[in-house]
Amino acid sequence: MSKSKTEQVKPNQSNLVTFLLIIIVVGLFFLLMDEYEKKPLQADVYIQAGHEGRLVGNTGSVSAYGREIDWTKIVADEATRILRNAGVRVIRAPADQKRESVVLLALSIHFDGAKKACSTGASIGLNNASDRNAARAWKRIYRTVFPFKWMPDNFSKNLKYYYNYRYTLASDAELVLELGEMSCPEQARWMKPRLKKLGALVAYFAAQRVGASGVEKPVF
């Protein structure tokens, strides 16, 4: 005996209702995610590993001693670990995290590369004049251990107009820390075995700026 038309319609209506409910739930999920991502992150310190997460495009400098994309991660991870162990709230960001972050101090870690080897050295990028006190404080600390040349602040367009400044709002300072030229053999040989110590030094500097205790200056 064949089913009546009414019996045939009921399953179809049920499937349609289920499909519409799924569409509504998925739509609400993406709406909530969009609102969540628009809400600024908040912490004490923001630490970005330059170029981290990129597979194409500007993936950083490369030399016989390593890749910038690998070195920045080591430094940023170590600095983050030390600061968090000291109770400092840290936003640990990759290269292209485009969510606004509200912090006391924002630091982006980089290593320079140059076509003419050993033509650059350590340097600092800063967003505006209010960042100069923090920039001078970092130079005082890093100059005690880094035995090579320094470049002027914002000596390149990439430092002066660093793209990530638009995503960080820092009450103390927003700085790009170029820790040295990895295409210079002398500098690279000095930096490579000390990457975690460089991370510890960044953590020490950050702790000083945000008033956190318990972070010691590493011995080089």
Per-residue pLDDT reduced to its tens digit, 107-164: 999 999 999 999 999 999 999 999 999 999 999 999 999 999 999 999 999 999 999 9
Query: How far apart are the C-alpha atoms of 64 and 195, rounded to whole Å?
Result: 16
- Centre a 10 Å sphere on the Cβ of residue 199 and count the other Cβ atoms it contains: 26
Question: Per the structure block, which two tokens stand in for 47?
Answer: 């630490």
SS3 content of the chain, % helix, strand, coil (to 5): 45, 20, 35
* Total-model pTM: 0.84
What count of residues does the chain have? 220
- Give me the residues paired with residue 62 across strands: 67
Predicted confidence at residue 7, as pLDDT, reads 53
Query: How far apart are the C-alpha atoms of 100 and 128, rounded to whole Å?
Result: 18
- Strand 62-63 and strand 66-67: the pairing is antiparallel
Query: How far apart are the C-alpha atoms of 56 and 73, rounded to whole Å?
Result: 17
Residue numbers of the chain with a pLDDT score lower than 70:
1-13, 19, 24-37
